[in-house]
């Protein structure tokens, strides 16, 4: 049994490390640029820091190895020190290496520092509605999605988990779980619906924000009419992300580090929605709602 010196700093995080699978830690390390220098060693992985090969960590390959939680606690602490991050952030990423994590960080105008309960509930409602619209657009590529969301689709969206934003942060964070890799020999799975939904949400939000900022909203909507991607319901959902007039929202994703789900090429990782963007999105929602109502009357 390995004896670890001075575990006083690590004891508080042992309950978290005990449930993290070793393979996910390996995925995290390789995703962050650490090098596998294990060689012929059995039963452990050894990783060297990408910029300093003398800085190494050792991790048991099996979660039932003696003192596994202690070993992983030290690994997490050294990851954090090497990467200049809080250990809590590293543990969060290790725990969700097989999930895409979405964040919405609002910068409130003036001296405002907190959201009201109503603003928070409204924002989460907008997140849920936007995800349902995105999933509908992926499954049924038409502006006019089915009027009732299928129960199975609602259950998939509701399987996402709300994450704590961390001390002093008012950001919204959502964990979108992907099917985990059980062994390194597993074949790559199909791209999960949640990953495709997240990609559509980021790409379409970025396109709509760009069109709004560059004052080409009408031309974008006109070109989009031939092959619809944006709906009034989607635009209205985005408006709920803004907690109050004048607020700016940064929407971003941390892609899963599990190599079974590599980051999608071309998809943005961050979208900034300025107050001007929200004004454009509000105008788009009104134009699309009017067009959709006219189409309903003509049908």
Kindly report the three-state secondary structure assignment for every residue of the chain. Answer: CCCCCCCCCCHHHHHHHCCCCHHHHHHHHHHCCCEECCCCCCCEEEEECCCCCCCEEEEECCCCCCCHHHHHHHHHHHHHHHHCCCHHHHHHHHHCCCEEEEEEEEECCCCCCCCCHHHHHHHHHHHHHHHHHHHHHHHCCCCCCCCCCCHHHHHHHHCCEEECCCCCCCCEEEEEECCCCCCCCCCCCCCCHHHHHHHHHHHHHHHHHHHHHCCCHHHHHHHHCCCCCCCHHHHHHHHCCCCCCCCEEEEEEECCCCCCCCCCCCCCCEEEECHHHHHHHHHHHHHHHHHHHHHHHHC
**Ranges for all domains in the chain classified under CATH 3.30.920:** 11-95
Write the CATH number of the domain with boundaries 11-95: 3.30.920
> If you ran DSSP here, which 8-state letter would residue 90 be given?
H
**pLDDT confidence of residue 144:** 56
CB count in 10 Å sphere of residue 64: 7
C-alpha 156/C-alpha 194 separation (Å) is 8
**pLDDT confidence of residue 15:** 60
**pLDDT confidence of residue 261:** 86
**pLDDT confidence of residue 225:** 77
166-218 per-position pLDDT tens digit: 655 678 999 999 865 445 555 555 789 999 999 999 999 999 999 988 778 88
**pLDDT confidence of residue 1:** 43
Q: Which residues pair with residue 261 across a beta bridge?
A: none
**Cα–Cα distance list, 1 to 26, 28, 46, 270 (Å):** 22, 26, 18, 45
Nearest partner of 200 among 229, 233, 165, 171, judged by Cα: 229
β-pairing verdict for 270-273 and 172-177: unpaired
Give the chain's count of helices (H) and strands (E).
10, 8
Average pLDDT for runs of 10 along the chain of length 299: 46 65 87 86 88 83 87 88 86 88 90 82 95 91 65 89 73 85 54 93 94 84 80 94 93 89 91 95 92 77
DSSP element (H, E) containing 278:
helix 275-298
Structure tokens at 158: 């509701």
Is 257 strand, coil or helix?
coil
C-alpha 151/C-alpha 7 separation (Å) is 48
**pLDDT confidence of residue 12:** 55
């Amino acid at each position: 049994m390995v004896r670890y010196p001075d575990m006083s700093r690590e004891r508080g995080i042992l309950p978290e490390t005990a449930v993290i699978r070793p393979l996910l830690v390996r995925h995290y390390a390789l995703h962050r640029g650490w090098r596998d220098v294990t060689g012929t060693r059995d039963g452990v992985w050894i990783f060297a820091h990408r910029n300093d090969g003398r800085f190494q960590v050792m991790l048991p390959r099996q979660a039932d190895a003696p003192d596994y939680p202690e070993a992983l606690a030290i690994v997490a602490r050294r990851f954090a020190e090497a990467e200049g991050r809080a250990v809590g952030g590293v543990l969060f990423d290790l725990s969700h290496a097989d999930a895409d994590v979405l964040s919405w960080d609002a910068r409130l105008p003036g001296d405002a520092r907190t959201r009201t309960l109503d603003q928070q509930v409204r924002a989460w409602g907008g997140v849920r509605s936007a995800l349902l619209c995105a999933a509908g657009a992926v499954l049924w590529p038409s502006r006019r999605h089915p009027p009732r969301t299928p129960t199975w689709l609602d259950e998939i969206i509701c399987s996402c988990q709300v994450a704590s934003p961390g001390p002093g942060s008012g950001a919204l964070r959502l964990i979108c779980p992907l099917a985990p890799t059980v062994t390194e020999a597993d074949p790559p799975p199909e791209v999960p619906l949640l990953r495709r939904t997240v990609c559509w949400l980021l790409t379409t939000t970025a396109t709509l924000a760009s069109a709004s900022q560059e004052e080409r909203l009408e031309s974008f909507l006109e070109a989009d009419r031939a092959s619809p991607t944006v709906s009034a319901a989607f635009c209205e959902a985005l408006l709920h992300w803004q907690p109050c007039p004048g607020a700016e929202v940064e929407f971003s994703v941390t892609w899963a580090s599990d190599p079974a789900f590599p980051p999608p090429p071309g998809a943005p990782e961050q979208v900034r929605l300025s107050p001007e963007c929200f004004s454009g999105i509000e105008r788009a929602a009104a134009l699309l709602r009017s067009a959709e109502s006219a189409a309903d009357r003509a049908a």
